[in-house]
Amino acid sequence: LTGHFNTTNHAIVQGLINSVNPSQVPAPCCVPIEMESLAILYIDVESKIVIKNYPDMEVISCGCR
């Protein structure tokens, strides 16, 4: 696993062990590591325009974990 995968030491070791014994240890996988909020504009049931901010909805970067 190279540097551009943004890996942890644990993921590196897990990947090595998985390559030797895949039935015992799962492979590391890509997961979100940095997220931002996402603003949604919609019309509610009373026909009012509403903007709502949902935290941690947009993935900014991923890493191998």
pLDDT, mean of residues 3-22: 89
Domains with residue ranges and CATH for the chain: 3-64 (2.10.90.10)
Q: What is the pLDDT of residues 19-28, one digit of tens each?
A: 999 999 999 9
pLDDT, mean of residues 9-24: 94
Q: CA-CA distance, 49 to 36, in Å (whole number)? A: 23
In angstroms, the Cα distances linking 43 to 27, 32, 54 are 44, 30, 16
If DSSP codes are grouped into helix, strand and coil, which group holds residue 50?
Answer: strand
Spatial neighbors of 16 by CB under 8 A, at least 6 apart, are: none
